[in-house]
Structure 1
């Protein structure tokens, strides 16, 4: 396992009823990075006890717990607040369900350390396991996100495997009440672009697991797409209000070249 903990960059995993896949996810992340933090978002599937047991013998693993389910964004913010108290400047967020490529954590961290002013966004590379409805549906959110950011170069607005600057994201989230549930990932990207944080996009394979493979999904097509629609409506209204200022910022914006 990774034995040299970083003092600036940590892996942050929000977790809600993830099933046994969370243990595979943590072991894979710990093989390549330290520290790894898990924020248990009011889980009721027994995973909290598994995680506590795992952390007993691993100094590089920290378990934070919320008493009730508050949503992905709330869990991430809770972790970011604790990270800021300990001096961390960047957090790589990844899902607990094993879909994200833990082996790419070092490459993402290196990009972030080279460009600490940026956010490093995973751009998903789908295989045959990906549901066509979700692959095609995310194109709509991506189109809106790039419109709302005036083409700053958001490769994918929904993919949760990414690195955030802690101070900027905390400031954004503590200023408003949104971004607490499924709307967290796309709204975080848009608002960070407005904040002046440029994106760097890295391709990253994503794997969807069947229930027979231990896969767990809390995605609800109607509920979550309704939430995304409301989110983009809000962002477009605010975008039009912000447009004069954003246009001036955009004129001086320099895209960070992709490199790997």
Structure 2
């Protein structure tokens, strides 16, 4: 069995998930699909994909719980299936699956680190979201007292499963769009390393985005307030930490 698998959270992306799975399977990587309470059309597509290929594993949440919840379920399922590493990929086709072998190569060089993409956007990215991301970057740098996490919002990353699943069991992590940032910050707080490398990102190929403008921006605001106060009582340890790994770039 491969040490690596790909975890894909899915919520109502029936038009793109087949292509995404096909691209991943062409790399000879097993897939863990997490149906986050999709409507019947998408749920049927996922069932068909799983029935057609024994290396496509499927679990379904009874209702929509959020991207973060689906990723966490997928990571724990991947660990239970015996994989050592899991690659998180979005279902909407925005991630460049051609970069998967390269990031896996970086992961093999840094087996104890989370290896995460830094988006190299094309013209499809909404400009407001492009610029607003930088506020989150600045807040993450403040909340970690480090520049090691260059971009915390890209959900295209490789996790070493044993330590990350232990983090999932011991830390409270967001269930929705706050998950991607929170898991990296708390991983860093607990002494984990983050290695980053650029990757091309498009927005999204099926035109469906589940980012909820006001709700998710408010969710992220509350997250950064919590992280700030969490940083304060970790201040002495963070001030004494020196980052051993710099973010990588193409």
**Range into which the TM-score falls when normalised by the shorter chain:** over 0.9
| Secondary structure of the structure 1 residue equivalent to 2:6 | strand
In the alignment, which residue of structure 2 is the partner of 1:247?
Answer: 239
CA positional deviation for 1:79 = 1.4
Residues 1:38 and 2:33 aligned together:
yes
CA distance in 2, matches of 1:257, 1:156: 9
Deviation of the 1:173 alpha carbon: 2.5
Query: Given that residues 197 and 247 in structure 2 are in contact (C-alpha distance below 8 angstroms), is that contact kept between their aligned partners in structure 1?
Result: no
Distance 2:40 2:151 in 1: 31
Q: Structure 1, residues 233-260: CA drift from partner, whole Å, max 9, x if none?
A: 0000010011112223x14x41257377
Structure-2 separation of matches of 1:58 and 1:191: 36
> After TM superposition, what 4+ stretches of structure 1 lie above 4 angstroms from structure 2?
none
Preserved contact between residue 149 and residue 247 of structure 2 (Cα < 8 Å):
no
The residue aligned with 1:13 is 8
Q: Which residue of 2 aligns with 1:107?
A: 102
Contact 1:90 1:163 in 2 (8 A): yes
Contact 2:32/2:78 (8 A) holds in 1: no
Consecutive unaligned residues in structure 2, runs of 5 or more: none
User: Does the 8 Å contact 2:148/2:247 carry over to 1?
Assistant: no
Q: Residue 116 of structure 1 corresponds to which residue in structure 2?
A: 111
Trace 1:79-158 onto structure 2 (pairs within 5 A): 79-158=74-153
TM-score, length of structure 1 as denominator length = 0.90
Counterpart selection for 2:157 from 153, 162, 170: 162
Cross-structure match for 1:231: 223
Cα distance in 2 for partners of 1:159, 1:80 equals 17
Compared CA separation, residues 239 and 33, structure 1 to 2 (3 A): farther
In structure 1, distance between residues paired with 2:28 and 2:247: 25
Deviations along 1:171-226, one digit per CA (max 9) or x if unpaired, are 222224331111000111111111222111111111114xxx63211111111000
* Residue in 1 that maps onto 2:209: 217
Structure 1 unaligned blocks of 5 or more: none
Q: What is residue 202 of structure 1 aligned with on the other side? A: 197
